[in-house]
Amino acid sequence: MFMSLGIGFSMIWSIVTENTMVTEVVQASQGVILPLWILIIILIIMGILYYKKNFSIPKVSSSGAKPLTETLPTNLEVKRTSSDEIYKTIDAAGYSYDSQQDIFYSNMDSWQKNMGYCSFYDEAAILSGMIIDCEPIKFIYEGKQWLIEFWKGQYGMSTGCEIGAYIRQESKINIYGIFKEAFYKGVGDEDKLQMSFSLRMRSEVLFSRSEKHWWLTGFKLGEFSEPSDLIMSLSITLKDLVMRDAFVEALKNVGYLNNEIIINGNTVALIFDEPRTEQPNARIERLDRITQTKNKILCDKYQEITKNYDTFPDKVEAIQNQAPDIYDKIVNIGKSKEVFRHFEKFKNNLNL
């Protein structure tokens, strides 16, 4: 029970931090477990503010407007000019564009690597409009705790999936003594793994990727999906047989059956459709519906505006002209800095 209250309390803080009265209550509560009636009051405030934050739909206009750039990870100014500058903006956000598949994917040296991983990121995903299935697989190899995690679902205005490889750090996250979790760092060059995946929505293949990486991703802009409609066929080549066996055993421990795991040398392949691990506490059906309703409207609007354009730069220009508020969401593809900002608010409670 206290874990669920802790997660809910963490989400509340992320949403209502601008509210002076609530902030004072939260600050005064550090180190203690709040009475239930106070939590209920804050939950009510959270619900009201969450609805206002997540259910306002950007307006479409026929005139141009200055795009919002506050959530970009650099100070690069976005202008309505050449395609080169558009791609530079996407690169600054940590991604590159594959014109053949019409998808975005994470760069090897993206700024996200410096942020590491903890399960709080999965809990906070909904605050950035992401409704995604998560599958963390933890195992010990050479005396270190590894985490290989798969994700798939709706990332705001994009449908996408990810595979990430991490190693646990000595430090732990401690939020108000309620939420305690290990912190992981993205693996270095010597530990990168060959990864591959193909993402399908029902029977249609959306895209595929394969690379030796620490974080292999793909995001298709303007594509709407429910996580349950997505099937991710993936394979990972581990470093040796010992690591392979440890990974396979961890897969079995979370519920994968022998006939669902394909082994070929050091390579392990499987299908990620229905998660076998417990999903984030924040995945509440009503909040999922509210968030997905907004995501669907945004994707439909993107498709409507860009249907007569062939190239990505032309599509972006059309969005800038007709729906500048949506443009800001385009340049924050996938896991943007907004996800990690919720985590940054807890810096004073970390021992990193």
pLDDT value at residue 299: 96
Highest mean pLDDT pick, 52-61, 241-250, 316-325: 241-250
When mean pLDDT is compared across 132-141, 150-159, 310-319, the lowest value belongs to 310-319
pLDDT given at position 126: 92
Tell me how far apart the alpha carbons of residues 71 and 52 are, in angstroms, rounded to a whole number.
Answer: 19
Residue 31's pLDDT is 43
The owner of tokens 């650099």 is 74
Determine which of 35-39, 214-218, 249-253 has the lowest per-residue pLDDT on average.
35-39
- Euclidean distance between CA atoms 216 and 208, whole angstroms: 11
Give the lowest-confidence range in 46-50, 145-149, 331-335: 46-50
Which pLDDT band, with edges at 50, 70 and 90, does 174 fall under? low
For residue 117 the two structure tokens come to 């991983």
pLDDT band at 337 (very low <50, low <70, confident <90, very high): low
Helix/strand/coil for 336: coil
* Among 22, 155, 170, CA closest to 93: 155
Instruction: Please state the rounded mean pLDDT for residues 58-73.
Output: 39
Radius of gyration (C-alpha) of the chain in whole angstroms: 21
pLDDT number for residue 328: 78
pLDDT above 60: residue 314: yes
Retrieve residue 114's tokens: 């410096």
The pLDDT value recorded for residue 182 is: 85
When pLDDT is cut at 50, 70 and 90, the band that residue 346 belongs to is low
Name every residue whose Cβ is closer than 8 Å to that of residue 249 and which is 6 or more positions away in sequence: 139
Q: What is the dihedral of CA 231, 342, 72, 283, to 10 degrees?
A: 20
The pLDDT assigned to 274 comes to: 97
Distance CA 13, CA 7 (A): 10
Of 98, 99, 76, 102, the C-alpha closest to 89 is: 76
Is the distance from CB of 318 to CB of 209 less than 8 angstroms? no
Give the mean pLDDT of 310-316: 92
The two three-digit tokens of residue 55, written as one number: 């259910």
Rounded to the nearest 10°, the torsion over CA 276, 282, 284, 286 is -140
pLDDT band at 171 (very low <50, low <70, confident <90, very high): low
pLDDT value, residue 6: 41
Q: Which of 192, 160, 196, 163 is nearest to 269 (CA)?
A: 196
pLDDT number for residue 48: 44
Instruction: Using a pLDDT cut of 90, give the percent of the chain over it.
Output: 55
pLDDT of residue 344: 57
Asked if residues 232 and 133 have their Cβ atoms less than 8 Å apart, the reply is: no
pLDDT tens digits, one per residue of 283-303: 999 999 999 999 999 999 999
What digits encode the pLDDT tens for the residues 144-165? 999 999 999 999 999 999 999 9
C-alpha dihedral sign at 129, 184, 4, 137? positive
β-bridge mates for residue 164, sequence order: 149, 215
Beta bridge partners, 130, equal 155
Q: Are strands 262-264 and 267-272 parallel, antiparallel or unpaired?
A: antiparallel
The tokens 């498709």 sit on which residue?
303
C-alpha–C-alpha distance, residues 29 and 126, integer Å? 25
Q: At 307, is the pLDDT very low, low, confident or very high (cuts 50, 70, 90)?
A: very high
Rounded Cα–Cα distance for residues 193 and 150 (Å): 14
**Which range is most confident: 34-38, 91-95, 191-195?**
191-195
Among 11-25, 30-44, 270-284, 312-326, the range scoring the smallest mean pLDDT is 11-25
Q: Retrieve residue 344's tokens.
A: 């940054």
Q: What is the pLDDT of residues 68-119, one digit of tens each?
A: 233 333 333 334 445 778 888 888 889 999 999 999 999 999 888 888 898 9
pTM (predicted TM-score): 0.76
Numbers of helices and strands, H then E, in the chain: 10, 12
Q: 137: part of which helix (H) or strand (E)? A: strand 130-141
- In this prediction, residue 190 has a pLDDT band, given cuts at 50, 70 and 90, of very high
* 193 has pLDDT over 70: yes
SS (H, E, C) 221-275: ECCCCCHHHEEEEEEEECCCHHHHHHHHHHHHHCCCCHHHCEEECCEEEEEECCC
